[in-house]
Chain A
Amino acid sequence: MRQRRIAATIGLYAVYVVLLVVFLFPLYWVFATSLKTIPELFHSPPVLWPKVPQGQNYNHVLVYTPVVTYLKNSAILVFFTVVGTLVVSIPAAFGFSRFRMRFSRQAMLGVLMCQMISPLVIVIPLYNYLNRVHLLNSYFAVILVYIAIQVPPTVWFLKGFLDTIPVSMEEAAWLDGCNRLQSLVRIILPVSVPAIASATVLIVIESWSQFIVPFILLNSDRLYPVSVGLINLQSTSDVISTHYLAAASILAVLPVVVIFVVLQKFIVSALTAGSVKG
């Protein structure tokens, strides 16, 4: 028995090492590349770690590329997307959870249907329309589409959570003279903080990654979020500046990676909630 346990432990650690190499080496390689000199970029065999790490590559990127602007733009888009998505989703999720309505199930399935539609399909006519009325490059339009993409999964997730809160908690408040809105704000929202936090983290990560919407609806370097900015840098840079592209990439994902590592607990619960009968 003991021997089997040891064998299993060794086997599992072997699997873990392989997984860590497969999933972390690509990230390590980008990081190492971001610190290389130009000769090291072209060295054969490839240089695993630069002799003298070139921290000034990051300076160069910060000064000579608009990466800071991209980061700022992404932050603005993500912030308003989070606020807007919650403003739309919380009342709807509450309504689906608390009111007995005809066609409630059909409406929920309709919302789910929206989630399955490729953003590209809805962006095409919007581009055509905004182009005609000269409203391309409008953050307002872009944020609306971001919100529309995040609303369906958020409504489903929050509805699933609200279903687990007993109505009896609200009934006490109604006896004290609260109406539905007041009981939502005073009773339901405070106990929903963890679920709203999970939803928020998911919205942040997915909106930060959003590419196709800004790629089509924006066409000014000043307005690009990081995803579009990176593709722009990639297409304008050549092999001789790969180290700068690597450095810009690292800067572009740093915020989500930090959020991801710090708030991993919320992400795992948000991704798995609802997918499994708890």
Chain B
Amino acid sequence: MRNARALPWFVPLILVVGLLYVYPVLDVVRLSFTNAGLLHPGYQYTLRSYVDMLRTGDLGQTLWITIVFVFFSVVFQLLLGFFISLAIIAGEQLKLRGTVVVRTAVLAAWAMPGVMIGIIWRMLMDESPSGILNFLLSKVGIGHVAFLSSPSVALVSVIVANIWRGTAFSMIMQYAGLKTIPDELYEAAKVDGATSWRRLVHITVPMMAPLLMVNLILITISTFNTFDMIMALTGGGPGRATEVMALSIYDRIFHTYELGGGAAMAVVLLVINLLMAWVYMRMSRRTEGMTTS
């Protein structure tokens, strides 16, 4: 009865979620069990895509590249975000000028489209004699770096660009978190003679731990889904050295026209998404009051 009265408010939401989430997700799972091609309509149900993905090692290779990419991106975004937010809060407490300018500069990288980030870093990582990053590195005695043409270096380059792009989100979340720690805690610790290092380890870090976990999960999910930035920076290359899951799915469907094979890889990504979402819900229940952003 009560639910029926509330229903009209949810009609648009139910339509959007049903049509654009529930239906496509079920359909992608169905397609993953077929040998459908993009160009011809007929197909049969088969487990072939999953078997091939495992047998050829495609899944293993793509997962490995993706996990390396996600792990290093996320660790550095979290640490740098924490460090920068501490530096800005410390500046605000000392009433320094320029804290807003610094905050804005960091956040600007977040507001840019991912494609733009890829284009910017491709210009910076130009490997010709007029490339600026190689020129700057040569000034500090580092020889020529093949940023985007060497398979092993390219993955590092992509990670660096992604850290540059994503640090702002962690910074702003933690900046808001740091502001909620009551000053009295620090005052009391000061009275007890705690050094600033001990205050950081015994007050700031434990108080921030739940938020840091939520932050970690959110950026892990979004990094797993990265597509546009890598597309513009390396296109997944050289070879397949920087081909993360999303690029691999795209490549399977739109370059080799294996709709079923791409859908199978997409289901793996979907499972990862849902696992992370589940962890996130468990975490945010424990730290009630934290939701999403």
Contacts and interface: CB of A to CB of B under 8 A. Distances in A.
B31 A88 contact: no
A124 B249 contact: yes
Contacts of A125: 23-24, 27-28, 31, 263
A246 interface: yes
Given A12-B96, A43-B130, A26 B121 contact: yes
Nearest to A264: B104
Interface stretch (B51-59, B110-118, B143-151): B110-118
Nearest to A239: B128
A271 B119 contact: no
B68 interface: no
A15 B232 contact: no
A95 B16 CA distance: 16
A250 to B, nearest CB: 9
B180 A278 contact: yes
A267 interface: yes
A253 B292 contact: no
B225 A23 contact: no
Given A112-B280, A209-B113, 15 more contacts: A42-B128, A91-B9, A95-B6, A113-B277, A118-B270, A120-B250, A124-B263, A132-B41, A145-B20, A153-B293, A209-B114, A234-B122, A260-B111, A271-B176, A275-B176
Looking at B8, B119, B122, the one whose CB has the most chain A CB atoms below 10 A away is B119
B69 interface: no
Interface of A: 5, 8-9, 12-13, 15-16, 19-20, 22-24, 26-27, 29-30, 33, 41-47, 87-89, 91-92, 94-95, 99-102, 107, 109-129, 131-132, 144-145, 147-148, 151, 153, 155-157, 160, 205, 208-209, 211-212, 215-216, 226-228, 230-231, 234, 239, 242, 245-246, 249, 252-253, 256-257, 260-261, 264, 267-268, 270-278
B292 A117 contact: no
B25 A275 contact: no
10 contacts: A16-B98, A22-B164, A89-B13, A112-B280, A118-B266, A122-B24, A148-B17, A234-B119, A275-B290, A276-B179
A114 B249 contact: no
Contacts of A209: 112-115, 228
Interface secondary structure of B, over-half rule: helix
Interface residues of B, number: 100
A95 B4 CA distance: 12
B114 A211 contact: yes
B248 to A, nearest CB: 10
A124 B164 CA distance: 29
Interface in B264-293: 266, 269-270, 273-274, 276-277, 280-281, 288-293
Contacts of A261: 104
B115 A227 contact: yes
Task: Tell which of B9, B176, B211 has the most Cβ of chain A within 10 Å.
Answer: B9
A144 B2 CA distance: 30
Q: Which 9 A-B residue pairings sit nearest by Cβ, starting from the closest?
A: A95-B9, A272-B176, A44-B129, A277-B289, A148-B20, A125-B27, A211-B228, A209-B113, A99-B6
